[in-house]
């Protein structure tokens, strides 16, 4: 499935939500849509066999209207400028929806990291950091993990940034290992945030997670942790997939076993003893709740009618195209949108950044309690507006973000005018 046109999908959604936000100023909307800065860099490395390769990396700084740029770094063969622009823009919207004082950015390298050794991945990460270190920083732009990057990647970036800038700056990235300044609860934050949103939404309609059938596409940080939380709350995980295959069991998959298997580097394609299917299998499984937790552009106009679930919890960024959204809405499938549902990761990243800046260490319980309040508050605000304006959760969330970014931008222009007038 294609990820092309993701940025166009972002701008189309801004246009649709602007009416709900009551923003008609086209120049202002153009500012909200357009990335402030785009960096494209060459990433040279020497491979273990002595050969030289030059890869392409990006860092898109979309909006700093509400605070420093914030967003992950992805290593994937499909990484393109269009994709990174869309991911950066979604971060600006997401930080505004959960109302944390950060903007939006994203980075990536077009590479298949599965073909690289650990030494090569470190060399790649340090080379990329060498290229971008002048444009990131604790008060400027704070990267984090995304697909195929993790706490180890962040530790390398923080170390290389420190070497280049001759500073000790753990706050330059979030999602680090605990030993290097990471926050308790960051590993499970995206899943917990999604869980809170789902819980609140089901509560509002008198439904329950207990006994619900759930299917999950993607079994990495977001998907596997969500599987565990939902399983612990009494849900049956009836289908799951990774990038190699899908596995299913109508009586519920053994979540802990699957997590242990994946932690050892296993692929579902090699897992014996299960009914198998394609990587897209969970999208069309006979479930109550579908959790897309892999990549963008998975639920499209071509396949949306095959979705049987009544709820979609978007832990992946951009898994549903606008055309699919419209089809799902017509069938009254409720979509809890990425910019709300997966915001737990960036919220705890914000907590990690605060802890680093203030040399503090919060307890996991403290992090989880704060995250729960922030996510539930964001859900309530989105749900209120969606009901009031008879809009989808997605458009309501975008409208709230547009309003908050607009307020920040209007403050900026007033300051600009004052400065010019001096």
- The residues assigned a catalytic role are 106
Tokens 């940034």 sit on residue: 161
Segment contacting ligand NAD (CB under 6 A): 77-85, 152-160, 240-248, 403-411?
A: 240-248
- Can residue 92 be called a binding residue for ligand NAD (CB under 6 A)? no
Residue 246 C-beta: closest distance to ligand NAD, Å: 8
**CA-to-CA separations, 96 to 65, 133, 414, in angstroms, rounded:** 10, 25, 20
- Can residue 405 be called a binding residue for ligand NAD (CB under 6 A)? no
Specify the pairing of strand 236-241 against strand 246-248.
antiparallel
**CA-to-CA separations, 190 to 187, 204, 308, in angstroms, rounded:** 8, 21, 24
Return the number of the residue (120 or 187) whose C-beta is nearest ligand NAD.
187
Residue 286 tokens, joined: 């006979």
Find out whether 380 and 400 touch, Cβ atoms under 8 Å: no
Return the number of the residue (29 or 98) whose C-beta is nearest ligand NAD.
98
Residue 218 C-beta: closest distance to ligand NAD, Å: 3
User: What does the DSSP 8-state code read for residue 314?
Assistant: -
Q: Which of 57, 108, 182, 218 binds ligand NAD (CB under 6 A)?
A: 218
- Can residue 198 be called a binding residue for ligand NAD (CB under 6 A)? no
The strand ranges marked E within 263-380 are 275-277, 289-292, 311-313, 334-336
- Can residue 219 be called a binding residue for ligand NAD (CB under 6 A)? yes
Residue 8 C-beta: closest distance to ligand NAD, Å: 18
Residues 6+ apart with CB under 8 A from 293: 216, 217, 218, 219, 220, 222, 223, 226, 315, 316
Residue 23 C-beta: closest distance to ligand NAD, Å: 26
Residue 91 tokens, joined: 């971060």
- Can residue 266 be called a binding residue for ligand NAD (CB under 6 A)? no
Question: Would you call 266 exposed, middle or buried from its count of C-beta atoms within 10 A (0-12, 13-18, 19+)?
Answer: middle
- Can residue 196 be called a binding residue for ligand NAD (CB under 6 A)? no
Find the helix or strand (DSSP H, E) in which 289 lies: strand 289-292
- Can residue 281 be called a binding residue for ligand NAD (CB under 6 A)? no
Tell me the C-alpha distance between 86 and 365, whole Å: 33
Residue 59 C-beta: closest distance to ligand NAD, Å: 16
User: What does the DSSP 8-state code read for residue 320?
Assistant: B
Tell me the C-alpha distance between 358 and 205, whole Å: 41
The strand ranges marked E within 31-94 are 37-46, 52-63, 69-76
Q: Which string of x and - marks every residue 139-158 that binds ligand NAD (by CB under 6 A)?
A: ------xxxx----------
Q: Which string of x and - marks every residue 360-399 that binds ligand NAD (by CB under 6 A)?
A: ----------------------------------------
Q: Which string of x and - marks every residue 318-357 that binds ligand NAD (by CB under 6 A)?
A: ------------------------x--x------------
- Can residue 279 be called a binding residue for ligand NAD (CB under 6 A)? yes
Residues that bind ligand NAD (CB under 6 A): 145-148, 190, 217-223, 241-243, 279, 293-295, 315-317, 342, 345
């Amino acid at each position: 499935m294609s990820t092309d046109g993701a940025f166009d999908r972002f701008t189309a959604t801004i246009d649709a939500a602007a009416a709900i936000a009551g923003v008609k100023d086209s120049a202002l909307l153009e500012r909200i849509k357009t990335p402030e800065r785009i960096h494209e860099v060459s990433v040279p490395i020497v491979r273990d066999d002595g050969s030289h390769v030059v890869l392409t990396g990006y860092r898109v700084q979309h909006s700093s209207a509400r605070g420093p740029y914030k967003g992950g770094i992805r290593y994937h063969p499909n990484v393109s400028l269009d994709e990174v622009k869309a991911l950066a823009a979604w971060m600006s919207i997401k930080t505004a929806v959960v109302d944390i004082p950060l903007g939006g950015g994203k980075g990536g390298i077009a590479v298949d990291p599965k073909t690289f050794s650990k030494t090569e991945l470190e060399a790649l990460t340090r080379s990329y950091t060498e290229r971008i270190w002048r444009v990131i920083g604790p008060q400027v732009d704070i990267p984090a993990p995304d697909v195929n990057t993790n706490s180890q990647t962040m530790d390398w970036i923080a170390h290389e940034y420190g070497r280049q800038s001759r500073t000790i700056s753990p706050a330059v990235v979030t999602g680090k290992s605990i030993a290097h300044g990471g926050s308790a609860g960051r590993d499970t934050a995206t899943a917990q945030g999604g869980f809170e949103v789902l819980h609140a939404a089901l509560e509002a309609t008198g439904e329950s997670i207990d006994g619900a059938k759930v299917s999950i596409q993607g079994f990495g940080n977001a998907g596997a942790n969500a599987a565990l939380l939902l399983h612990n709350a009494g849900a049956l995980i009836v289908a799951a997939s990774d990038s190699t295959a899908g596995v299913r069991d109508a009586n519920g998959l053994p979540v802990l076993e699957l997590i242990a298997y994946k932690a050892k580097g296993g692929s579902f394609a090699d897992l014996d003893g299960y009914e198998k299917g394609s990587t897209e299998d969970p999208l069309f499984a006979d479930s109550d709740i579908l959790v897309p937790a892999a990549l963008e552009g998975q639920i499209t106009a071509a396949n949306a009618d095959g979705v049987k679930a009544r709820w979609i919890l978007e832990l992946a960024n951009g898994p549903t195209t606008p055309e699919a959204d419209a089809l799902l809405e017509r069938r009254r499938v409720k979509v809890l949108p990425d910019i709300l549902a997966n915001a737990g990761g960036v919220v705890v990243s914000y907590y990690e950044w605060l802890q680093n800046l203030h040399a503090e260490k919060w307890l996991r319980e403290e992090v989880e309690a704060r995250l729960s309040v922030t996510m539930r508050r964001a859900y309530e605000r989105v749900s209120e507006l969606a009901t009031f304006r008879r809009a989808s959760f997605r458009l309501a969330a975008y409208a709230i973000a547009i309003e908050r970014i607009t307020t920040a931008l209007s403050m900026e222009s007033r300051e600009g005018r004052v400065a010019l007038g001096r």
